[in-house]
């Protein structure tokens, strides 16, 4: 077996096994994820030794499916597997009291397999397939508690938003295949110059959907209706990450115009989502808005022409955000909710989870020597070095400031005050999951140096003191503001607007959803008219048919007449020597006679029956006359 399959097959098999067996979900799926992790690490060591693995699978004609383990894909695969494994360990504790565990574990495992296929995909068709499958998995997982209307709505919204944006990926892929003549990603990247700006913008659209960039950010916050381990996986290493991964991988294809668009979308999102996060009243929703904001930072790096920086921030964010969510899930179990009102002082009661949360929060804010410091430094350096620095640097710094502010606010709200806290089942598993990810969130920065050499991507040239100072100042200022100043004061009159999610004129629902439904209803009304018109024609036909018995009688006679005529022709033909035709004619005559007979028996008075039979008879007549006519040639 080819080693490229190692990260994909175990979770896939585990998912199917759980679906079939309906039991042993956690154990099987954990085994699958661990094997996936081992497989991806194996690939990674192979890649470090300089051997890329490729596997071809049958796909569409002339477009085989292709899996490739190169430096970047193997690294991403390892990151995905790591996060998934610890999230699953955590889930064993978190899901202890839930029903429907088999479904949960099977879907999580399938999610992992699909994401592994996405990062290891070496051709556009497989990438697109995996891209949509992770959409399906997130739909099923966000809607895990499908009896709750808000979960059902959130799941539908998540799938619909991302699917609509996915159309961009479809068309971009068609353009790329059309211009290069093959679906292999590596070939597309090598001949990247030929790709148009249109393709780049379409890729951006697809990434905006998945990575929840403005104006498509709204689904991500509603997706909090799902179980917390799902959010942890979704935000860090799978669904949302897919958008940034797509842009990082296809960065060589992007024209300067497309890069500018990427950078601007990222810049606007990092600020807008940061403001939304700052005003949130719910911990999980705050973390969701923060995710959109952080992916905005990654897009800034891509837009500045330094995908390497985006990749580093993606890796750091994966560890950090999953830690934050897992800790939030722990608080959620302790207080039966995630509103900041309910969570007051929960940090004191759950010190282990809170320590992990705080560590990750500081890492995300960009405090050295935690991982987020290095990755955020890389992003700011990238913004400084690339084209459009005048635009991108302010956005990046504002994003960093906001990150510090909302994380500090969260820490304050979780720490201050006190309240009743319930005993939580499965704390051991949850603690293992949290700290399994908190440690990499802290120390991952140390690995960035070796990673940069391994990946061999262009790094920002001036990663000097300027970037470090700017980043640190922004982060510390943010932390101080968030800890000291209440958010209402901080945002001033914009606070209510930020609390409502910065909706502009009703949001996408008003701009796209309602018009689409209006068009649909218009089509439906048009249908009624179409139907009435067709019915009118039908009634006219009926009126003619109401000649009734007489018409029927005549038709009957006519049928008989044709039959007789055929007999004559038949006799005439018999004079000749064509036996085949001979037989045919007699068969036809018999058939017509039988039809005449039926016409008599079926004069049931039911007008439509008569009409139907007349119609058949007419058709038959037509054929018979045709035969007779052709005979006389």
Partner 1 sequence: MLPLVSLTLFLPLVGAVLILCLPKPTARTVHGIAITSAALTLVGALAMWLQGVSSEGFSQVEELEWMPAIGAAYRVGVDGISLPLVLLSAVLFLVSLIYASSLRDRPRAYVALILLLETAAIGTFTALDGILFYVFFEVSLVSMYFMIAGWGHEERQRAALMFFIYTLLGSLPLLLAILGLYLGSPDPTFDMRAWIANPPLEGAAAMWALIAMLITFAVKIPAIPLHTWLPAAHVQAPTVGSVILAGIMLKFGTYGLVRFALQMTPDAFREAGIVVLFFGVVSAIYGAFAALAQTDLKRLVAYTSVNHMGYVIVGVAAAALTLDPAVRATALDGAVLQMFSHGLVTGALFFLVGMIQERARTREMGEFGGLLKTVPLLGWFFVLAAFASLGLPGLAHFPAEFQIFLATLGTTPIAVIVILGIAIIAGTFLKALRETFMGEPRDRWSEMPDLSPREILAVAPLLVLTVATGVAPSWVLDVIHRTTSALVL
Q: Please report the DSSP string for 16-80 in residue order.
A: HHHHHH-S-HHHHHHHHHHHHHHHHHHHHHHHHTT--EEEEEEEETTEEEEEEE-HHHHHHHHHH
Q: Match 């022709």 to its residue by tokens.
A: 569
Q: Please report how close the Cβ of residue 309 comes to partner 1 at its closest, in angstroms.
A: 31
Which one of 27, 466, 469, 616 is in contact with partner 1 (CB under 8 A)?
616
SS3 297: helix
> Which range, of 88-96, 310-318, 484-492, 624-632, touches partner 1 by CB under 8 A?
624-632
CB 117 within 8 A of CB 126: yes
Among 20, 48, 60, 484, binds partner 1 (CB under 8 A): 60
- 369 prior amide bond cis, ω within 30: yes
Told to check if 584 binds partner 1 by CB under 8 A, we report yes
CA 328, CA 322: separation in Å to the nearest integer?
10
Coil, strand or helix at 417: coil
Contact flag: residue 1 with partner 1 (CB under 8 A): no
- Any contact of residue 510 with partner 1 (CB under 8 A)? no
21 binds partner 1 (CB under 8 A): no
Could you tell me if 356 and 301 are in contact, meaning their C-beta atoms sit under 8 angstroms apart? no
Among 534, 544, 568, 590, binds partner 1 (CB under 8 A): 534
**Identified binder of partner 1 from the candidate list 523, 544, 568, 594, rule CB under 8 A:** 523
The Cα 226–Cα 107 span in angstroms is: 13
Q: In this structure, are residues 282 and 339 in contact, taking their beta carbons and an 8 Å threshold?
A: yes
List the structure tokens of 256: 């300067």
- Of 535-574, which residues contact partner 1 (CB under 8 A)? 535, 537-538, 541
Q: Does 577 bind partner 1 (CB under 8 A)?
A: no
Tokens of 429: 């598993």
| The binder of partner 1 chosen from 466, 544, 557, 619 (CB under 8 A) | 619
Q: What 3 state SS string does 268-292 have? A: HHHHHHHHHHHHCCEHHHHHHHHHH
Name the minimum Å distance from CB 163 to partner 1.
Answer: 5
Candidates 415, 483, 586, 627; binder of partner 1 (CB under 8 A) is 627
| Cα-to-chain-centroid distance, residue 255 | 25
User: In sequence order, which residues have a C-beta less than 8 Å from that of residue 611 and are 6 or more positions away?
Assistant: 541, 542, 545
| Interface residue with partner 1, options 28, 81, 92, 175 (CB under 8 A) | 175
Of the pair 178, 493, the CB lying nearest partner 1 is at: 178
- Of 80-88, 212-220, 394-402, 525-533, which part binds partner 1 (CB under 8 A)? 525-533
* 368 sits near partner 1 (criterion: CB under 8 A): no
Burial 601-626 (b: 16+ CB within 10 A, else e): eebeeeeeebbebbeebeebbeebee
Angstrom distance (rounded) from CA 81 to CA 117:
12
Q: How far apart are the C-alpha atoms of 52 and 69, rounded to whole Å?
A: 5
With CB under 8 A as the contact rule, the residue among 38, 42, 55, 163 that binds partner 1 is 163
Choose one: 54-62, 273-281, 441-449, 550-558; the region binding partner 1 (CB under 8 A): 54-62
Which phi-psi region, left, alpha or beta, contains residue 24 (left: φ > 0; alpha: ψ -120 to 50)?
left
Of the candidates 49, 193, 336, 524, which one interacts with partner 1 according to CB under 8 A? 524
| The residue to which tokens 């804010």 are assigned | 365
Distance, in Å, from the CA atom of 252 to the CA atom of 248, rounded to the nearest integer, reads 9
56 binds partner 1, rule: CB under 8 A: no
Residue in 484, 517, 568, 602 binding partner 1, rule: CB under 8 A: 517
581 binding partner 1? (CB under 8 A): yes
Q: Give, in order, the Cα–Cα distances in Å from 94 to each of 55, 111, 228.
A: 37, 18, 8
Tokens of residue 16, six digits: 């199917």
Write out the binding residues for partner 1, residues 141-160 only, by CB under 8 A. 143, 146-147, 149, 151-153, 155-156, 159-160
Residue 587 as a binder of partner 1 (CB under 8 A): the answer is no
Distances (CA, A) of 442 to 40, 138, 415: 22, 28, 21
Q: Which among 24-32, 36-44, 59-67, 427-435 is the span making contact with partner 1, rule CB under 8 A? A: 59-67
With respect to partner 1, which residue has the nearer C-beta, 14 or 437? Answer: 14
Q: Shortest Cβ distance from residue 452 to partner 1 (Å)?
A: 34
Q: Which window, 38-46, 83-91, 363-371, 534-542, contacts partner 1 (CB under 8 A)?
A: 534-542
Interface mask toward partner 1 for 122-141; x: CB under 8 A: ---x--xxx-xx--x-----
Q: Half-sphere exposure of 528 toward its Cβ, with a 13 Å CA cutoff?
A: 5
Q: Report in angstroms how near the CB of residue 412 gets to partner 1 at its nearest.
A: 38
Among 190, 257, 341, 578, binds partner 1 (CB under 8 A): 578
Residues that bind partner 1 (CB under 8 A): 58-62, 125, 128-130, 132-133, 136, 143, 146-147, 149, 151-153, 155-156, 159-160, 163-164, 167, 170-171, 174-175, 177-178, 516-517, 519-524, 527, 530-531, 533-535, 537-538, 541, 578, 580-581, 584, 606, 608-609, 611-612, 615-616, 619, 622-623, 626-627, 630-631, 633
């Amino acid at each position: 077996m080819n080693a490229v399959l190692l990260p994909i097959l175990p979770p896939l098999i585990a998912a199917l096994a759980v679906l079939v067996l309906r039991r042993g979900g956690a154990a099987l799926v954990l085994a699958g994820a661990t094997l996936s992790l081992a497989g991806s690490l194996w690939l990674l060591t192979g890649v470090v030794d300089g051997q890329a693995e490729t596997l071809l699978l049958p796909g569409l004609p002339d477009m085989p499916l292709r899996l490739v383990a190169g430096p970047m894909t193997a690294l991403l695969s390892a990151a995905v597997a790591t996060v998934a494994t610890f999230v699953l360990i955590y889930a064993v504790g978190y899901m202890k009291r839930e029903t429907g565990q088999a479904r949960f574990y099977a879907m999580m495992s399938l999610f992992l397999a699909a994401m592994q296929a996405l990062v290891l995909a070496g051709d556009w068709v497989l990438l697109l397939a995996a891209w949509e499958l992770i959409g399906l998995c997130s739909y099923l997982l966000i809607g895990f508690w499908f009896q709750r209307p808000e979960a059902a709505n959130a799941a539908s919204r998540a799938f619909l938003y991302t699917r609509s944006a996915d159309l961009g990926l479809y068309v971009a892929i068609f353009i790329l295949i059309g211009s290069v003549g093959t679906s292999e990603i590596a070939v597309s990247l090598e001949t990247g110059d030929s790709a148009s700006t249109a393709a780049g913008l379409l890729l951006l659209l697809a990434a905006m959907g998945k990575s929840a960039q403005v104006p498509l950010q709204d689904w991500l916050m509603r997706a909090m209706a799902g179980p917390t381990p799902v959010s942890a996986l979704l935000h860090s290493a799978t669904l949302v990450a897919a958008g940034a991964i797509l842009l990082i991988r296809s960065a060589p294809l992007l024209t300067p115009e497309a890069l500018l668009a990427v950078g601007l979308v990222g810049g606007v999102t990092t600020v807008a989502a940061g403001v939304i996060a700052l005003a949130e009243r719910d911990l999980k929703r705050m973390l969701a808005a923060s995710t959109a904001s952080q992916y905005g930072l990654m897009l800034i790096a891509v837009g500045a022409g330094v995908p390497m920086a985006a990749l580093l921030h993606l890796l750091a964010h994966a560890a950090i955000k999953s830690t934050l969510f897992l800790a939030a899930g722990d608080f959620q179990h302790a207080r039966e909710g995630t509103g900041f009102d309910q969570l007051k002082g929960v940090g004191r009661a759950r010190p282990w989870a809170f320590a992990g949360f705080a560590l990750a929060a500081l890492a995300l804010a960009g405090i050295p020597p935690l991982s987020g410091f290095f990755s955020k430094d890389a992003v700011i350096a990238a913004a400084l070095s690339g084209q459009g620095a005048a635009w991108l640097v302010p956005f990046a710094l504002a994003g960093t400031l906001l990150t510090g502010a909302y994380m500090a606010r969260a820490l304050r709200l979780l720490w201050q005050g006190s309240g009743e806290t319930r005993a939580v089942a499965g704390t051991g598993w949850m603690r293992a999951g949290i700290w399994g990810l908190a440690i990499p969130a802290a120390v991952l920065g140390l690995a960035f140096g070796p990673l940069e050499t391994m990946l061999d991507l262009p790094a920002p040239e001036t990663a000097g003191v300027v970037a470090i100072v700017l980043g640190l100042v922004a982060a510390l200022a943010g932390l101080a503001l968030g800890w000291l100043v209440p958010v209402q004061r901080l945002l001033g009159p914009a606070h209510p607007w930020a609390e409502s999610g910065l909706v502009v004129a009703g949001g996408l629902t008003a701009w796209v959803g309602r018009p689409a439904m209006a068009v649909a209803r218009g089509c439906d009304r048009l249908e009624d008219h179409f139907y009435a018109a067709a019915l009118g024609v039908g009634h006219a036909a009926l009126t003619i048919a109401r000649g009734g018995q007489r018409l029927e009688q005549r038709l009957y006679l006519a049928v008989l007449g044709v039959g007789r005529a055929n007999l004559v022709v038949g006799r005439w033909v018999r004079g000749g020597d064509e036996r085949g035709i001979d037989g045919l004619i007699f068969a036809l005559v018999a058939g017509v006679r039988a039809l005449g007979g039926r016409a008599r028996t079926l004069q049931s008075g039911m007008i439509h029956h008569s009409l139907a039979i007349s119609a058949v008879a007419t058709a038959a007549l037509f054929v018979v006359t045709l035969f007779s006519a052709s005979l006389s040639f």
